[in-house]
Amino acid sequence: MDEDAGRAGSGAPGDPRFAIIGAGMAGILSAVKLQEAGLTDFTVYEKADRVGGTWRANTYPGLSCDVPSHLYSYSFAPRADWSHRYAPGGEIHGYFEGVAREHAIDRHIRFGDEVTSCRFADGVWHLETAAGHRDEVDVVIAATGVLHHPKVPEIEGLDDFEGTMFHSSRWNHEVRLDGKRVGIVGTGSTAVQMVSALVGRVGQLSLFQRTAQWVLQAENPPYTDDERAAFRQNTARLGELRAQLTQLFDVFANAIVDAESPEMQMVAEACRANLEDNVRDPELRERLRPDYQAACKRLIMSPDFYEAIQQPNAELVTEAIERIEAAGIRTRDGRLHEFDVLVLATGFKADAFMRPMGVIGRDGQALEQVWAARPNAYLSISIPDFPNFFMLNGPNGPVGNFSLIEVAELQFAYIMQLVDRLRAGECREISASQEAMEQHEAARVEAVENTVWVTGCRSWYLDDRGIPAVWPWSFDRFRAEMQAPKPAAFEYR
Ligand SMILES: Cc1cc2nc3c(=O)[nH]c(=O)nc-3n(C[C@H](O)[C@H](O)[C@H](O)COP(=O)(O)OP(=O)(O)OC[C@H]3O[C@@H](n4cnc5c(N)ncnc54)[C@H](O)[C@@H]3O)c2cc1C
């Protein structure tokens, strides 16, 4: 180890040393929970200069949660003061910073230090960072995020644009938008939120739509001072609200895996009614009408997208993009759409996970090779022969319109049960068995056949085979599975 080295993995079963990679929602959660368990020998590595992950990186106008904030909060840190049902991004970032501060996590974090490699040798993980720091730990928690690496579309002439262009997750706040001509490429939640927020400010707004989206009208009222005071004074009310929201979202999460379920039909009907009732021009309505089942792609929640796209200074462009030129976007019909600012709301490389970090498991196996076809892990958490290396929000986990915080909390509690075995001295190395992972994957691939995600749309959920890379069963089943690791599914050494 060099002089800038972390403390060596103790090897002592009762007091393992941990590295948490990432200080977003899942990394903060991990740090809080380790401390709570009396495990204080850990370092959090964060390549950025602040905590918050997604909510630090994304600062675009209109960003908000699309899960009610009283649900999108840690179970151990309810917040009475959410300003709106779906809080704005900055407020959510402030919440994560507040939780980190309250639990004094910062003193464990190395900011601006990207972990570039993790290598398992001699029973411990050897970490190296871009800044040249080295560490040896017994357990790695990879909390590196999913929607993290921006996806830039392959459009001819992308570099020719002479105005200002940026990805939605790298918002350029130096650029004044008032009165400007702004083009937005993409029609996911981000684009929809931006259209609503920007249309009243900019001179001209054009939304380039490749695929129409179903939009569920979700009002976003502010909480009144009285309501917030009531939550503060009576925390039981907060708990009740959370329980009600959980129940409501469970219905949706459980229904989504059955494309034919009555609840799914209700969601579809609500989306259809939103389109029919709120888009006046029949021609525009048809261009906004998706040709696939609602919720096949991540369902978009918006109080006012249809209103915004019908403003006189807004245009929905459905003609395919031919190329980008110095002045703007040329569509296939030969028209040049001129802009001052172009925003790529084109999503993320959702299959990168902790990569490009190099991870070398037992016997020199490189994760890059193990994942050459596509990423996989037993229950999204553990990879065979990558002992004591656990992921939060890893491959093929639950996605949908519910809180990823609950997912991460359940996963972390599961991981801690595995860690307890290490601490009890039952073994020194734990990873999922190859057999357990293969059986789980076979069952998963079979189960996705019934889900709404395979009903005929292109979405970021689909892997290279067109199979949704998600948890295909009900959320109740996920909760049940996370209750306790099945001993036979793991290999112990
Ligand atoms: C625009 C947007 C809106 C969203 N809205 C919702 C929503 O409404 N509800 C919902 O449930 N989810 C939503 N999500 C998903 C959101 O990403 C998760 O809810 C959650 O924030 C993920 O937290 P995380 O800690 O797992 O990952 P992230 O927030 O991505 O954090 C990962 C952290 O790891 C760091 N990191 C990565 N690799 C390394 C490395 N090698 N070394 C050091 N540091 C590293 C990153 O810098 C980052 O800070 C949204 C995502 C986006 C992009």
How far away, in angstroms, is 27 Cα from ligand 1 center?
10
User: What does the pLDDT average to over 193-218?
Assistant: 96
What are the structure tokens assigned to 448, written together? 């996705």
Nearest CA to ligand 1 atom 23: 25
User: What does the pLDDT average to over 151-167?
Assistant: 95
How far away, in angstroms, is 337 Cα from ligand 1 center?
33
Nearest CA to ligand 1 atom 35: 22
pLDDT in tens, 426-446: 999 999 999 999 999 999 999
Q: Is 48 in the pocket of ligand 1 (CB under 6 A)?
A: yes
Q: How many CB atoms lie within 10 A of CB 486?
A: 11
How many Cα atoms sit within 13 Å of 276 on the Cβ side?
A: 6
Query: Over the range 95-114, which residues count as b (16 or more CB within 10 Å of their CB) and which as e?
Result: bbbebbeebebeebbbeebb
Model confidence, pTM: 0.95
pLDDT in tens, 64-106: 999 999 999 999 999 999 999 999 999 999 999 999 999 999 9
Q: Is 53 in the pocket of ligand 1 (CB under 6 A)?
A: yes
pLDDT in tens, 46-66: 999 999 999 999 999 999 999
Sequence-distant (6+) residues with CB within 8 A of 116 are: 128, 129, 130, 356, 357, 358
How far is it, in rounded angstroms, from Cα 346 to Cα 323?
A: 16
Distances in whole angstroms, Cα of residue 300 to Cα of each of 34, 200, 215, 359: 35, 21, 5, 35
User: What does the pLDDT average to over 448-470?
Assistant: 85
User: How confident is the prediction for the chain on average, in pLDDT?
Assistant: 93
How far away, in angstroms, is 191 Cα from ligand 1 center?
18
Nearest CA to ligand 1 atom 16: 54
How far away, in angstroms, is 145 Cα from ligand 1 center?
4
Q: Is 406 in the pocket of ligand 1 (CB under 6 A)?
A: no
Task: Read off the pLDDT band of 9 (50, 70, 90).
Answer: low
How far away, in angstroms, is 234 Cα from ligand 1 center?
31
How far away, in angstroms, is 493 Cα from ligand 1 center?
33
pLDDT in tens, 248-268: 888 877 777 777 888 888 889
Q: Is the pLDDT of residue 146 over 60?
A: yes
How far away, in angstroms, is 53 Cα from ligand 1 center?
5
pLDDT in tens, 173-192: 999 999 999 999 999 999 99
How high is the pLDDT of residue 1?
37
How far is it, in rounded angstroms, from Cα 367 to Cα 358?
A: 7
Q: Is 54 in the pocket of ligand 1 (CB under 6 A)?
A: yes
Task: Read off the pLDDT band of 318 (50, 70, 90).
Answer: very high
How far away, in angstroms, is 193 Cα from ligand 1 center?
18
Nearest CA to ligand 1 atom 24: 145
Q: Is 47 in the pocket of ligand 1 (CB under 6 A)?
A: yes
Sequence-distant (6+) residues with CB within 8 A of 224 are: none
Q: Is 22 in the pocket of ligand 1 (CB under 6 A)?
A: yes
Nearest CA to ligand 1 atom 30: 145
Contact in structure between 295 and 256 (CB atoms under 8 Å): yes
Of 487, 365, 337, residue with least CA distance to 427: 487
Burial bucket for residue 175 (CB in 10 Å: 0-12, 13-18, 19+):
middle
Q: Is 127 in the pocket of ligand 1 (CB under 6 A)?
A: no
How high is the pLDDT of residue 4?
46
Burial bucket for residue 129 (CB in 10 Å: 0-12, 13-18, 19+):
buried
How far away, in angstroms, is 487 Cα from ligand 1 center?
30
Of 252-256, 267-271, 465-469, which one has max mean pLDDT? 267-271
Sequence-distant (6+) residues with CB within 8 A of 181 are: 202, 203, 204, 206, 328, 338, 339, 340, 341
How far away, in angstroms, is 26 Cα from ligand 1 center?
8
Best residue among 32, 54, 66 to mutate for probing ligand 1's pocket (most ligand atoms within 8 Å of CB) is: 54
Of 322, 326, 318, residue with least CA distance to 165: 326
Q: Is 190 in the pocket of ligand 1 (CB under 6 A)?
A: yes
How high is the pLDDT of residue 5?
53
Q: Is the pLDDT of residue 10 over 80?
A: no
How high is the pLDDT of residue 354?
94
Q: Is 290 in the pocket of ligand 1 (CB under 6 A)?
A: no
Q: Is 298 in the pocket of ligand 1 (CB under 6 A)?
A: no
User: What does the pLDDT average to over 376-383?
Assistant: 97
How far away, in angstroms, is 58 Cα from ligand 1 center?
10
What are the structure tokens assigned to 414, written together? 């599961």
How high is the pLDDT of residue 250?
84
Do you find a cis peptide bond into 356, omega within 30 degrees of 0? Answer: yes
Q: In 332-409, where do the E strands start and end?
A: 336-338, 341-344, 358-360, 389-391
User: What does the pLDDT average to over 258-281?
Assistant: 92
Residue 249 or 171, more confident? 171
pLDDT in tens, 17-36: 999 999 999 999 999 999 99
Ligand 1 atom nearest to CA at 29: 25
How high is the pLDDT of residue 49?
97
